[in-house]
Amino acid sequence: MTETTENKDLVQEQQDVQADTTEENVEQAEVQEETAELSIEEQYEAKLAELQAKLEDEENRHLRLRADFDNMRRRQQLDREAAEKYRAQSLLSDLLPVLDNFERALQVETTSEEAASIIKGIDMVYRSLLEATEKEGLQVIKAEGEPFDPNVHQAVMQEQDSEKETGIVLRELQKGYLLKDRVLRPTMVSVNE
């Protein structure tokens, strides 16, 4: 019986060792699960931080795109307003030599009644043309007797007049015109030294 008892003891010891091993395995598995849970939580936190950063980048990108769109819309509006405001610029620029020629024709002295009636007709056409251009915003730049302004005057000569101050426009050689607030053609002038 001793052998049987010893066998039983041996079997019991093996069962105890297996139980201990099983308990250790269970404990190790629990520790691994906790470690796995922590690493999963850490992974989720890392993923969450990454997604938040992406979201912030996309929000910033969206805001920049919206600001660019607003700026583009504003620029287009300003361009449309400028195009509307100065729509007649090309036509009026082409009409300036016509106005100059009318003025030259009106300066011709006439001796006959027939020529005087022609000049009177030219004057009527000139005035109606001038009136139509003024409706579109064409204005004559005042020059003679005014201080020289390089923004609206083009000095082509200098003369000396002791009765007038230096830098005063003495003569207008060619009329200049403004279209609303834009210089269409500067006035050619002679300036006092």
Q: What residues does 121 pair with on adjacent strands?
A: none
User: What's the pLDDT at 130?
Assistant: 92
User: What's the pLDDT at 99?
Assistant: 92
Q: What is the pLDDT of residues 11-34, one digit of tens each?
A: 677 676 666 666 666 666 665 665
Q: What is the pLDDT of residues 175-187, one digit of tens each?
A: 999 988 889 999 9
Stretch 97-103: mean pLDDT, rounded? 91
User: What's the pLDDT at 108?
Assistant: 86
How far is residue 90's CA from residue 95's CA, in Å, rounded to a whole number? Answer: 9
User: What's the pLDDT at 52?
Assistant: 95
According to DSSP, residue 147 is labeled: B
Percent of the chain residues past pLDDT 90, beyond the cut: 40
Contact 177, 96 (CB under 8 A): yes
Q: What is the pLDDT of residues 29-70, one digit of tens each?
A: 665 665 556 678 888 888 999 999 999 999 999 999 999 999
Q: What is the pLDDT of residues 153-168, one digit of tens each?
A: 999 988 888 788 888 8
Q: Is it the case that residue 3 has pLDDT exceeding 80?
A: no
User: What's the pLDDT at 88?
Assistant: 83
How far is residue 177's CA from residue 141's CA, in Å, rounded to a whole number? Answer: 5
